[in-house]
Amino acid sequence: MGDILKGVKEVIVDVLKVDEKEITLETKFIEDLKADSMDQFFLIDGFCEKFDLSISDEDARNIKTVKDTINYIESQQK
């Protein structure tokens, strides 16, 4: 999980311009980091590029926290 968490944080910092210290597993993109719909699109795009995967719109709607993101990436890498 460590490498995935590091990569997820890198994407979040790059897209949302937030301090990495603000990001925990429980961090919610909308409520905690004030991401809007465009930000969410760029986050999902960033995760796809960083981890070489494809995330469907339906799956993307269910990714609301850092932990959701890591769980999804881990499930796709098996």
Query: Tens of pLDDT along 30-76?
Result: 999 999 999 999 999 999 999 999 999 999 999 999 999 999 999 99
pLDDT confidence of residue 56: 95
pLDDT confidence of residue 2: 87
Burial (CB count within 10 angstroms: exposed 0-12, middle 13-18, buried 19+), residue 61: exposed
The owner of tokens 């969410």 is: 40
Whole-number Cα distances in Å, 50 to 32, 43, 54, 72, 76: 22, 10, 11, 14, 13
- Catalytic residue positions, numbered: 36
Domains identified in the chain and CATH numbers: 2-76 (1.10.1200.10)
